[in-house]
Structure 1
């Protein structure tokens, strides 16, 4: 466990850390209502809408997690030149998130995932997206925006949802730039793109993603899995999330951290929370082992809620207090 005095020291340092998040920015829309009849026009339920709300999703949820924890956050991505793009950047602006790195594109929509929900059951999902790789022009703009502020940031998170922003060129150039400037760069990957992230500082795949990254359908030996992926991608360390089995951190040695969730209601967005807290804690001076423990605790908070969520510093401390009655 991390001593309370040490935990509070790390959390207090969050406010002085500057993190850049680069990836697929999205909006998650929720249409919530009730159903008491079938449409006379077609055999489909009629939803009587009682609420509509949206939350930041994809890489934007990583941004939101960091902002909630008090970090100074810089967002980089490609969104549409459309009303949904305005909604996303306005939400960032309300939380003092730097949007200078956001590029607006006329030929791509802002990614929106709209869910129709009735009686706690999802009936339908509608997606607005263009998954093609961004154009060379947009790649150049995105990389130029990052280069302009690389000296002002402490770490970079690459949040890959395979929606075309983190192209091979963009991913490799970002890692090269980060390494040249001595910056932490962590990756929440899509397995098909794993080869783009050679030389990153760390990666946070779940077990299934890790197996796909090295082209295996099944592997029982977690130690072998983590070591092989870390070596293949030339990572400084690897944080493998293992659901109810906790996490395993692969550095020179391997450390397994048990899960702390009391009850699991929804794992949506848990990966975003893990990479946010893991990277932020390390940038704030924590060892990677300490950072993994704090990220594991944060994940235990968010999986106890329904829907994409964030966690506060106060909630991390409160959950630690529940887990450990006596602090050393």
Structure 2
């Protein structure tokens, strides 16, 4: 949810807080956000609990060469460590009187200048601090830049489109038809925290890499981002059924889903925290990931609550995605009930069951129209470490009766497997491989979620398996070309498709 507000709302929100918090205020023009601004704001955040940033309005600046106030405010509001951002139309004395901040931070260059607000701040028991923040080699990495159109390597397609008679016009038509679809997603919500760090060096006491955190940014992940992808990629309505804890991340989840226009049915469970995965990064590399999760099954009452809510919506739903991370939201009996309900109403079914840092079994989702395991997940599901991809995929298909299987292979793309009947009505299968199409992969997080959402949407819109896999691969290439798992817009997918 956006952290841009007006000053009156900010004051009300702070006053309604559960516990007293130290408020820090920074104001300025912020015409072009640069590393100096980032260092100043990060320092300001460390001076208290709530950072409020006032972006001076066009009327106050009166400089036609500056970027407009809405743009400057939007850029500042996108910073993860800024709690509230507002466009300031008033003199600083008025803002201080209304907000009553504990600390006001100004750049060190203002220390030798006249600062009329100093006396007023001190009257409220506050403090004026001059500091421009600490220099950091990685400061520029603490801001997630707006992604540019990803460069798709056309040569990697290697005749795939010709083999399956895929053309742009037909793909664009599929994307247009997704606007009539309603999608349901059920599974584990995860919050992904990115801690961007500055590499200090090796400790002199022991062989340990030392880093200092520069910024923290939160993203909605797991089933939540799969649902958000489906909505952003063009679905008419998207319903998410999941469970969170009763902590602060529960509200963050609701706020993000609301901002992404996803209809959320979120049950609360006091016995588990909201799943949190924290990645510590230096530059574009992740140094460490810490998972704070629980894996026990949700209780019977929560299962009944989810099933009742899904049953109430089932006649509206065209496709359902199981987004399973094996943290207890999808016990087998609940999965079986959902599958029976969806089969009864001719709902297209897709499933992914991740086993990156935990163990799952994608074969427990029987009768799916599409499953998208990694090679490791496929081998775990059938306890098979020796067979090649063709036999591996076919044995998995036989075990779970899936109509289409995509075995994802990370930087090697994906292996596609579909059963077929030959001219003698004998069961055979068709196979192909599609490469990872991104020219410059920046962050692999979310590629599978994006692929699953886009391919399922395409199948529900009437695309062939090969066409859906192609669109899923384009979507995944778009996703890995930027940092953080954020919803991929249909316009981004269309632009990438047209650039081929």
TM above 0.5, yes or no, is yes
Q: Does 2:420 correspond to 1:256?
A: no
* Aligned residue among 222, 231, 237 for 2:398: 231
| Higher-RCO chain (CA-CA 8 Å, sequence separation at least 6) | 1
Q: Aligned-pair distance for 1:9?
A: 1.3
Q: Is the 8 A contact 1:223 1:254 kept in 2?
A: no
1:237-316 aligned within 5 A = 237-243=404-410, 244-252=412-420, 253-259=429-435, 260-316=437-493
Match of 1:137 in 2: 301
1:1-328 aligned within 5 A = 1=161, 2-36=166-200, 47-71=211-235, 72-99=237-264, 101-190=265-354, 192-220=360-388, 222-243=389-410, 244-252=412-420, 253-259=429-435, 260-323=437-500
Determine helix, strand or coil for the equivalent of 1:149.
helix
Distance 2:210 2:413 in 1: 41
Give the ranges of 4+ consecutive aligned residues of structure 1 lying more than 4 Å apart after TM superposition.
37-48
Q: What are the Cα deviations for residues 89-144 of structure 1, in whole angstroms up to 9, with x where unaligned?
A: 11101122101x21111221111112233444444433322111111121111111
Q: TM-score, normalised by structure 1?
A: 0.89
Q: Is the 8 A contact 1:18 1:155 kept in 2?
A: yes
Distance 2:337 2:349 in 1: 12
Determine helix, strand or coil for the equivalent of 2:327.
coil
Q: Is the 8 A contact 2:390 2:431 kept in 1?
A: no
Match of 1:326 in 2: none
Distance 2:202 2:403 in 1: 56
Which runs of 5 or more structure 1 residues have no equivalent in the other structure? Answer: 324-328
Q: Is the 8 A contact 1:30 1:114 kept in 2?
A: yes
Rg larger in 1 or in 2?
2
| Number of equivalenced pairs | 321
Q: Aligned-pair distance for 1:248?
A: 0.9
Q: Is the 8 A contact 1:247 1:296 kept in 2?
A: no
Moved more, 232-241 or 55-64: 232-241
Label 1:321 to 1:255 Cα distance change in 2 as closer, same or farther (>3 A).
Answer: farther
Determine helix, strand or coil for the equivalent of 2:361.
helix
Determine helix, strand or coil for the equivalent of 1:113.
strand
